[in-house]
Structure 1
Amino acid sequence: MPYPELYILRHGETIWNAEGRMQGALNSPLTERGKGHATKQAALLSDIDLTGFQILCSPQGRAFETASIALARKVPFIRTDDRLCEIGVGDWQGKLRHELQPDQPLDDGPDGPVGLYELAPNGEGFERLEARCLGFLSDLASPAVLVTHGITSRMLRSIIVGRGRSGVAEMPGGQGNIFHLKNGVQKQLG
């Protein structure tokens, strides 16, 4: 299915990201480094004409704080959508990643071991996250700038490039990044 042109931003580093904590629905504020990530996003977007683009953001504080910095010169207000929230991590919310004992080895990366998010007891899991993201994308009728979270961003981008939930772990990650998606092709800015 063809999707509108998108710019997908991941929030800047938070205190809990720096500590290696699972956030899920919980929140912690941006660090100074995280505010720097958002400032860099603003610079990357400064020369891009976003006329006609919707601006949609996760209502979670870390994403909204990032959007407020990154898009301050672009839009007078930011609309939120709950479907852009981070994947639910159930019983693991607030826990340090190194305290978790998954029963299988996991590859680590810039967002921690992505597979942990699939294993979280009482968590949302990739199947339900994929359904939520598909619903969101199906409702998009025009180009948009999305401000979201690490795993949710990966799922959205994996769907758009035709990989679905099986491609989430292979999507590039990291804090404070911007991905441009158009005609099923993903390009990282900066």
Structure 2
Amino acid sequence: MRDWPDLYLMRHGQTEWNVQGRMQGRLDSLLTPLGVMQARRQGWLVRDLRGLTRHASTAGRAQQTARIVFAGQDFVSDERLHEIDIGDFTGRLWHELRAERPELFAGGGLDWYDRAPQGEHFAGLEARVRSFLQDLTAPALIVTHGITLRMIRLVAMGLPRERLAEMPVAQGALHLVSRGRHRMFF
């Protein structure tokens, strides 16, 4: 397992589509008032960290979160931190899709992301995340998305893809991956 720099990972704050149960993928929606409070909380959690590079997904919800978290400090926007592309499922309501295609959601895990028609699938996301991590030369603060955050942790911790669903992610939390181990702070 490679020894990656310390990673301070954050998921964007709650969005309007999160509340609606609408799957965003490559589309976007604004942060809710709770999402703004979650981003402020993350900013408070990282307030004393110095000398780290700052990165964010190019998605609007991650950019909005990063502007709050980084409180006016510069950060690098990187397409490789964007959420997994869920193809034909983008913009769909979760409960409607589950009713239409129950076979895709059997077992209740995250495997449906890997079967989304016209989607990126896990292999594409993993390659994108690995490329991002290989370019890091210093500890980093990163604002990204739920599935992408899980994949970053999976790669950084040297775990097999089958463990992706075991990775908890919380909006408003700070995930630290250091020396192959994970800790979460609220």
TM class by shorter-chain length?
A: over 0.9
Q: Which residue of 2 aligns with 1:151?
A: 147
Q: Which residue of 2 aligns with 1:103?
A: 103
1:129 counterpart = 2:130: no
Which amino acid in the other structure matches residue 123 of structure 1? G
Q: CA deviation at 1:157?
A: 0.4
What are structure 2's unaligned runs of at least 5 residues?
none
Greater fraction helix:
2
Please report the TM-score for the alignment, with normalisation by the length of structure 1. 0.91
CA distance in structure 2 between the partners assigned to 1:149 and 1:142 by the alignment: 21
Which amino acid in the other structure matches residue 146 of structure 2? G
Which amino acid in the other structure matches residue 184 of structure 1? G
SS class of match (1:21): coil
What are structure 1's unaligned runs of at least 5 residues?
108-112
Q: Which residue of 2 aligns with 1:186?
A: 182
SS class of match (1:187): strand
What does 1:52-71 correspond to in 2, within 5 Å? Answer: 53-71=52-70
Structure 1 residue corresponding to 2:173, chosen from 167, 177, 181: 177
User: What is the root-mean-square deviation of aligned Cα atoms in Å?
Assistant: 1.3
Q: Which residue of 2 aligns with 1:5?
A: 6
Q: CA deviation at 1:57?
A: 0.5
Structure 1 residues 167-176 or 21-30, which shifts more?
167-176
Q: Could you list the per-position Cα deviations for residues 34-74 of structure 1 after superposition, in whole angstroms to 9, with x for gaps in the alignment? A: 1111011111112x3222x11011010000100111110xx
Q: CA deviation at 1:179?
A: 0.4
Q: CA deviation at 1:160?
A: 1.1
Q: Which residue of 1 aligns with 2:27?
A: 26
CA distance in structure 2 between the partners assigned to 1:174 and 1:120 by the alignment: 23
Identity score, percent: 43
CA distance in structure 2 between the partners assigned to 1:103 and 1:33 by the alignment: 33
CA distance in structure 2 between the partners assigned to 1:33 and 1:70 by the alignment: 14
Please report the TM-score for the alignment, with normalisation by the length of structure 2. 0.92
1:102 and 1:119 in contact (8 A); partners too = no
CA distance in structure 1 between the partners assigned to 2:12 and 2:178 by the alignment: 21
CA distance in structure 2 between the partners assigned to 1:21 and 1:119 by the alignment: 18
2:9 and 2:141 in contact (8 A); partners too = yes
